[in-house]
Amino acid sequence: MEDERELARRWVKEAKSIAALTGAGISAESGVPTFRGEGGLWRNFRPEDLATPEAFATNPVLVWEWYQWRRELIGKAEPNTGHKALARLEASGKEFTLVTQNVDGLHERAGNHRVRKLHGDLWRLRCTSCGAEWPDRRVPLAKLPPHCQCGGVARPAVVWFGEPLPMEVLRASADAAEEAEVLLVVGTSAVVYPAASLIPVAKRGGAKIIEINTEETPASGVADCRLRGAAGEVLPGLVT
Residues 6 or more apart whose CB falls under 8 angstroms from that of 58 comprise none
Q: Which of 83, 107, 113, 119 is catalytic?
A: 119
Would you call 119 a catalytic residue per the annotation? Answer: yes
From residue 83, give the alpha-carbon distance in Å to each of 52, 70, 174: 29, 19, 21
Select from 98, 96, 93 the least CA-distant residue to 26: 98
Bridge partners, residue 147, by sequence: 153
Distance of CA 179 to the CA centre of its chain: 20
Interatomic CA distance for residues 181 and 209, integer angstroms: 9
Interatomic CA distance for residues 141 and 146, integer angstroms: 7
CB atoms within 10 A of CB 58: 10
From residue 56, give the alpha-carbon distance in Å to each of 123, 135, 153, 157: 17, 20, 10, 13
From residue 239, give the alpha-carbon distance in Å to each of 65, 99, 209: 39, 18, 16
CB 155 within 8 A of CB 122: no
Annotated active-site positions, please? 119
